[in-house]
Amino acid sequence: MNSAKIVFATAMLLASSGSGAMAAALDAGACAALDGRTIAPGDISLETGGAEVRGAEWTTPAGTNPFCKVSGTTMPVDPKAPPIGWQVNLPATWNGRLLQYGGGGYNGILPETTEPAIHGPLDGPVPLAQGYVTFGSDSGHTAQNTNDASFAVNDEALANYASLHIKKTLDVAAALAKAAYGEAPRAVYFAGGSTGGREALTAALRWPEAYDGVISYYPTANFVGLRLWGAALNRAIYDDASAGWIAPDLVKAIAAYATEHCDGLDGAKDGLVSNVKTCRTRSQAVVDHFACKDGQAAGACLTPVQIERTIKVYHDGYTLPYQLANGFDRYPGYNSLEGVVMNLGTQAAYAEPVVSGPNAHHAARAYEFFQHFIARDEKLDYRSFNIADPGPYRERLLEISELADANDPDLSAFEAAGGKIILVQGTEDPSVTPLGTAAYFGKVKEAMGADRVASFMRFYMLPGLAHGKGSFSPAWDSLAALDNWVTNGVAPAGYVATDTTGSATRGRTLPVCEYPSWPRYAGSGDVRDASSFTCALGD
């Protein structure tokens, strides 16, 4: 089929879906005309130096919707601040919707805006091919990797990363869509995970009138709380000549034993711990099994220091004697005695700068945070930092929390504007605590009432999902679910996730269960088939 026929066929498909309006069209000539286009500061709702298109390239992927790849920058107000780099993809046939992609870590690179939405289907057309204008930004700085937080010494770059790049980039994308198609978008969505998940909630909280729906996977909503947890983990592991460090082989053995210990609690021995609530009541048995007994070799068991410091911080988290933004004072820990592999690094030695991989991942992320967000590159004694008593840094922690955290439970403005939220967390996440995401959802219900929340928000806890992959890496069309909810008023129900891991479980399906329910094996049928499971609430 030639490109003209593809464009026509796609236009017919898009015109028959959603609102029913004929899809807007774009061609190569109109794409080229966008090159060099400027967007005045007054056309961006937040203060900037304006934006400029630095390239507009007509792209024709084989067998799908051609698009105009538009790249450019949004200039800062502070001449010492870096610009915001962005990419906006304008499809030849547009379904009237915008989809903003979120970033990861400390950002600094463009998200993959031509790929599926986060954990979206791998065997169907990507959002861009479906007719979505897709776009994203580097959050206002560039970096070699997403662990680099050096940008945060500049106030404007920090504010952009914390939240402002989200709306600044949306305004640019909307302006380009209007210039290309001659009409404003009919719906605007945001989808992301981790930092992108925090950005999705930030979009809903800070600009409720601008977004119609968001998809938030494993959000770093308690951004400062997570960094404090990394600092606490740093002390637990590396104090007293790294007495709390646990070697990788023992870490893996603990996770394997815990999984075996709890695997059958969901009715099926399938390598997944779905009934996590009951499993957590058995966590002490895992500790007792690995606690050092007389005659055991060093490194083959858990010492009292490792149990009381490292295991306790990882599994149980911490409580602060003060509050950060939105009343935050509790980070509840992870399912590290329920099958999660703790990320403690490959070496016992501590050395600055703390590097993710050799050292514990979140100890390294916290090191970057404290050096650049808090101390602003002045000397800070990270080895001795006490999260319970941060001394002169307490006010700065609160300031950053108010800038970056996305844990305000009052979503009433988003609800009033008709917005919808799909919130997703995985039980095996070693980076964003599943217990914390569940606690946030609970606070939203406390603040607004369960019935109101059910009218605009869904929360799913997926067994086996870690921070991107895991024992069960799900693919399901949450974007279609969100769009159907927004445009047709049909709330998500009955969705099934397909495992995309490269293991023997690839292709297995499970029901996507609303929290607090979880997939329970019905007792008969193929354990690889979602129809053999029900969404259970009890033990």
Residue 467 a catalytic site member: yes
Q: What is the 8-class DSSP label of residue 62?
A: T
Nearest residue to 56 (alpha-carbon basis) of 28, 77, 84: 28
Work out the number of other CB atoms within 10 angstroms of the CB of residue 95. Answer: 28
Bridge partners (DSSP) listed for residue 189: 99, 213
Residue of 467, 477, 478, 499 marked catalytic: 467
Q: At 24, is the secondary structure helix, strand, or coil? A: strand
Rounded distance, CA 502 to CA 185, Å? 38
Residue of 137, 139, 194, 283 marked catalytic: 194
Residue 429 a catalytic site member: yes
Q: At 179, is the secondary structure helix, strand, or coil? A: helix
Q: State the distance between the two ends of the chain, measured CA to CA, in whole angstroms.
A: 54
What is the tally of helices (H) and strands (E) in the chain? 18, 19
Structure tokens at 180: 């290309």
Could you give the dihedral angle defined by the CA atoms of residues 388, 345, 311 and 443, in that order, rounded to the nearest 10 degrees? 60
292-303 burial string, b = 16+ CB within 10 Å, else e?
beeeeeeeebbb
Work out the number of other CB atoms within 10 angstroms of the CB of residue 129. Answer: 21
Contact 78, 58 (CB under 8 A): no
Rounded distance, CA 58 to CA 389, Å? 56
Rounded distance, CA 464 to CA 86, Å? 33
Bridge partners (DSSP) listed for residue 421: 214, 457
Structure tokens at 345: 């690094």
Helix 248-262 vs helix 283-290: crossing angle, to nearest 10: 140
Rounded distance, CA 228 to CA 222, Å? 10
Residue 194 a catalytic site member: yes
The residue whose two tokens read 């995401």 is 437
Residue of 171, 266, 270, 429 marked catalytic: 429
List, by residue number, the catalytic residues: 194, 429, 467
